[in-house]
Structure 1
Amino acid sequence: MAPRVLISDKLSEAAVEIFRSRGVEVDYRPDLGKDKDALLAAIGDYDGLAIRSATKVTAKLLEATDRLKVVGRAGIGVDNVDIPAASAKGVIVMNTPFGNSITTAEHAIAMMFAVARQIPAADTSTQAGKWEKSRFMGAEITSKTFGLIGCGNIGSIVADRAIGLKMRVVAFDPFLSDERAIDLGVEKVDLDTLLARADVISLHTPLTEKTRNIIDAAAIAKMRKGVILINCARGGLVDEAALRAALESGKVGGAGVDVFVDEPATENVLFGAPNLVCTPHLGASTTEAQENVALQVAEQMSDYLMKGAVSNALNMPSITAEEAPRLTPFVKLAELLGSFAGQLTETSLSGIRLEYEGDVAEMNIKALTAAALTGVLQPLLQTVNMVSAPVMARERGILVEEVRRAQAGAYENYIRLTVKTERQERSVAGTVFSDSKPRIIQVKGINMEAELGPHMLYVTNEDKPGFIGQLGTLLGEAGVNIATFNLGRTAPGEDAICLVEVDGEVPEAVLAKISALPHVKQAKPLEF
């Protein structure tokens, strides 16, 4: 029986034709995504669900079907998909991360001009017969400083367009290397420097806990008076109430806003503010972009349903069916090693070296490297996956080095990941034993053996008597239960590492107390 796909949002007709040409039955019901109850009743009849942003793929919807195998999002954002719930049900979630990049970049530039020259207000006034030429005094863009917050795929395109307009471009992006910045023709700066120097600031970063409200009242206070702010990325990056106050005071000279915290935004604190241009999340809304993402999602879903091939999946590695049984535990190890290093990295990455030793060196290390890069980039780029991670690393000028060698030590299989930053190199190594469970076996040259649980506490300290007791006491008094406790040191009395699995999150106040213990150099929670 041919697989069936439901398209529950408005999608290009080209997608329908691709599904049918690949042997997939398809039902095009573009208004169904807006009707939760009707979608809930219908979902059990389909193997695939193709969506844009209107359909909400909730845990409740996923629980209503045992047939669904794949959800395909035509576009990059998957805020409307409960990925953990999909993973728990064994449903693959795919997106199309690069199909609308140019369109979104062009919209940001268009918004800059619209704000700088007050085009929407001037149009309304002129068509009302007012001819208020002196009222609409604009700002020239040439030679101004353009500040990019986020310089990945879309941000780099915006940078190119801004340079073409004879603007000076400065960029803040933790993953942007000096070499990549030079290639793009932008100056890499820290966030405070960007806020202080930029005449125009444009956001091109995902919404994560680290980037939420990255533009708040404190950030606005550091900006130049009269700055233009553009957000065509994600609602939630900007504190809307703070922006409203800044527009009214004149601190922010104008703003172009395409995205909002709550969408559809039929009411918003920003509406009615002076020198504000708003659009209804049009960043990806061109005929070309809609065609691109529709074609991509249909091709990806068809390839999976008909051939079992997985690409651009957010919750599953891209591995062929033949490779899966042997490779999967090493993919998990590589991603854990990457996540471990990524969560501990706080400065710009310049390079990543992966060393494969023993039997694993003969495997598909492309998939393993992609998994490791996914782990490294995940803390700041939450939508990254095994397909997009290598591309995002290249875009940011992160040099990736792979080394294969025969078994040289005690372990039959061995992977070491080294992260290079502006200040230092940090390495972490692991292996997979016969039980197929990944283990950490070395951190920063210190030998230890540890499994990684969902909640870990990483502590570096001087090896002095009494530390373990003090740490255990602090955790115990806070009601944080220890599941496993792993130690390693370079030599008695010298550098030591403590890796503790706990049964829940460690409160900030407890972390502060641990950090304040004598001889503790660093205490950081890790999530896996």
Structure 2
Amino acid sequence: MEKYQIVVCDHIHEAGLEMLKNDDQVDYVFAADIDKTELLDVIKTADVAITRSSTDVDEKFIAAAKNLKAIVRAGVGVDNVDIEGCSKEGIIVMNVPTANTIAAVELTMTHMLSCMRMFPYSHDHLKNQRIWKREKWYGHELKGKKLGVIGFGNIGSRVAIRAKAFEMDIIAYDPYINASKVTDLGMEYTENFDDILACDIITIHTPKNQETLNMIDKEEIAKMKDGVVLVNCARGGLYNEEALYDGLKSGKVRFAGIDVFIKEPATDHPLLDLDNIVVSPHLGANTFESQYNIGTQAAQQAIEAAKGIAYPHAMNLPIDESKIPSFVKPFLEMGQKIGFLASQINKAPIVSVKVSGDGEITEYLDSLATFATVGAMAETTGDTVNYVNAEFIAEQRGIKIEVEKTDVKTPYKNLITVKLTTEKRAVSISATIFEGGVQRIVDFDGFEVDVAPKGNMIIFKNTDVPGVIGKVGTILANNNVNISDFRLGRNNKSEALAVILVDSDVSDATLNELAALEACISVKAARL
């Protein structure tokens, strides 16, 4: 009987280890306690490796694991895994994204209640200082308070349901879901972020990406009501930590509950000096139940991957370049990239993703559609969308995936187009790859352009009248935004579209100035 070697590189729950031990087709190797240099020798013959945060799946690891088919990251985050490097070697990377959902939900409620009743401080007063002073510890009730929930996915929605049981008024902000997901629960849905900022308590449950980093900064805190309570048990950096410190110090923010920090361990963080904050050392997954779930799910995924049965929650798609023409892989990557770009400039619940093509690449439209869909949904699902489950997640969300082979004559040997339709509008982006692997966006909503798909972008559409380019340049200069490239397209409707590559992020204030120009039809910022 053929046996598959599975190496456990880090500690997981004993129940997961038992699953591996009891499978007669698995040669189980426990290597969690050995030196990481010695581990490189152990994994040479491994078919599958199970890792956690203690093992870096880096260049050395990948080079040593010459027989590796798959890696299971026992947890949600994959920051310590070189996914691109694994893909190049045909190694599938999987994670366990939902095993700690309830643990994170309940920790959020713990922080919320602790902030409202100052429980850790009253506990310390009695337990450690042996002071009985009831009058010092008047708190606030959750009942009747308005809770703003940013991000209404697996965790945010469950927090909202539990908060409703406390008779709170719930308002949710998530531009990537259908409003009915919120309203069907008897809660309020908003597209206006200022509605969230007006709440008594705000909790955030989004992936960490370019859009959500510093989502709550000093400008947002300034708009909040005096005495607001902020909770973050999701990702460090979603609240700007300096702005949060200033808000807590001034009393604008009455209390905060924080489980995550930008840099961890955060044992000397300035926030720890304040006496109106409840903190915990990234405990979102730290329950016995979630560790059991993580361990058993990781073991099951490793067994299925070793046997070639399935690759649940795969983060990448290994491509056997010996079986496809060499030109295909860059187009797959390009499809994902322009799907991601389209989602940034057309933020709303997705209705459909349509991929069309011209040339030899049309033989691979189904694969292109998968990559484009992963890109289009990446902003809204974080780590949960991958090449294996993209179609399933799209179906769950009512998103239609279409492919079409076109017969339109173009000057390009191969051309792909991704059309992303949302509840608000449709965006179409076409791209090609020239000799030497040069990637170019060549059409943007019917405007012919020639743009490298990389870096920070401003997409500015305007009525085609004199003086617009100068005014745009002046606004960017006044805001210290340097232009690295400026590409302009025009149509037969007296409209123009500029795709402007810049050297830095573009603030909302800068975008608002551009939008205020009389000739402006629309303006969006994006980053690839």
User: Could you tell me which amino acid in structure 2 is paired with residue 111 of structure 1?
Assistant: H
Quote the residue 1:109 is aligned against. 109
- Closer, same or farther in 2 for the Cα pair 1:452/1:312, shift >3 Å? farther
- Closer, same or farther in 2 for the Cα pair 1:81/1:228, shift >3 Å? same
Deviations 1:267-297 (A, max 9, x none): 2212242132222211112222222222222
Consecutive unaligned residues in structure 1, runs of 5 or more = none
CA contact (8 A) 1:201 1:228 kept: yes
Quote the residue 2:54 is aligned against. 54
* TM-score, scaled relative to structure 2: 0.77
Deviations 1:65-121 (A, max 9, x none): 444443211121122223334334443321112221122111101211122112222
User: Could you tell me which amino acid in structure 1 is paired with residue 200 of structure 2?
Assistant: D
Q: Distance between the aligned counterparts of 2:184 and 2:518, measured in 1?
A: 45
User: Could you tell me which amino acid in structure 1 is paired with residue 421 of structure 2?
Assistant: V
Shift of 1:170: 1.5
Quote the residue 1:155 is aligned against. 156
Deviations 1:27-58 (A, max 9, x none): 223345xx554445654453433122333333
CA contact (8 A) 2:365 2:403 kept: no
Deviations 1:328-375 (A, max 9, x none): 788656534522412322x3235225377999999995x765533311
Shift of 1:155: 0.9
- Closer, same or farther in 2 for the Cα pair 1:96/1:71, shift >3 Å? same
CA contact (8 A) 1:7 1:51 kept: yes
Quote the residue 1:187 is aligned against. 189
Quote the residue 1:276 is aligned against. 277
Shift of 1:62: 3.5
Q: Distance between the aligned counterparts of 1:233 and 1:256, measured in 2?
A: 11
Q: Distance between the aligned counterparts of 1:268 and 1:6, measured in 2?
A: 37
- Closer, same or farther in 2 for the Cα pair 1:406/1:343, shift >3 Å? closer
Percentage of matched positions with identical amino acids: 32
Shift of 1:437: 11
Quote the residue 2:479 is aligned against. none
CA contact (8 A) 1:335 1:375 kept: yes
Following superposition of structure 1 onto structure 2, how do residues 256-271 of structure 1 map, counting pairs within 5 Å?
A: 256-271=257-272
CA contact (8 A) 1:170 1:189 kept: no
Quote the residue 1:139 is aligned against. 140
Deviations 1:449-474 (A, max 9, x none): x8975569767567799999xx9xx9
CA contact (8 A) 1:11 1:290 kept: yes
Shift of 1:440: 7.0
Q: Distance between the aligned counterparts of 2:96 and 2:172, measured in 1?
A: 25
- Closer, same or farther in 2 for the Cα pair 1:280/1:171, shift >3 Å? same
User: Could you tell me which amino acid in structure 1 is paired with residue 196 of structure 2?
Assistant: L
SS at match of 1:280: coil
Q: Distance between the aligned counterparts of 1:75 and 1:186, measured in 2?
A: 32
Aligned: 1:200 with 2:231: no
Q: Distance between the aligned counterparts of 2:193 and 2:453, measured in 1?
A: 33
User: Could you tell me which amino acid in structure 2 is paired with residue 26 of structure 1?
Assistant: Y
- Per mean C-alpha deviation after superposition, the further-off stretch among 85-94 and 350-359 is 350-359
Quote the residue 1:83 is aligned against. 83
- Closer, same or farther in 2 for the Cα pair 1:490/1:219, shift >3 Å? closer
CA contact (8 A) 2:76 2:96 kept: yes
Q: Distance between the aligned counterparts of 1:125 and 1:170, measured in 2?
A: 35
CA contact (8 A) 1:208 1:381 kept: no
CA RMSD of aligned residues (A): 4.7
Q: Distance between the aligned counterparts of 1:22 and 1:428, measured in 2?
A: 51
CA contact (8 A) 2:335 2:416 kept: no
Q: Distance between the aligned counterparts of 1:113 and 1:242, measured in 2?
A: 23
CA contact (8 A) 2:339 2:420 kept: no
Q: Distance between the aligned counterparts of 2:72 and 2:168, measured in 1?
A: 38
- Per mean C-alpha deviation after superposition, the further-off stretch among 515-524 and 178-187 is 515-524
User: Could you tell me which amino acid in structure 2 is paired with residue 400 of structure 1?
Assistant: I
Deviations 1:170-192 (A, max 9, x none): 12223133233323433224333
SS at match of 1:270: helix
Aligned: 1:352 with 2:352: yes
CA contact (8 A) 2:419 2:426 kept: no
User: Could you tell me which amino acid in structure 2 is paired with residue 190 of structure 1?
Assistant: N
Consecutive unaligned residues in structure 2, runs of 5 or more = 477-481
Quote the residue 1:400 is aligned against. 399
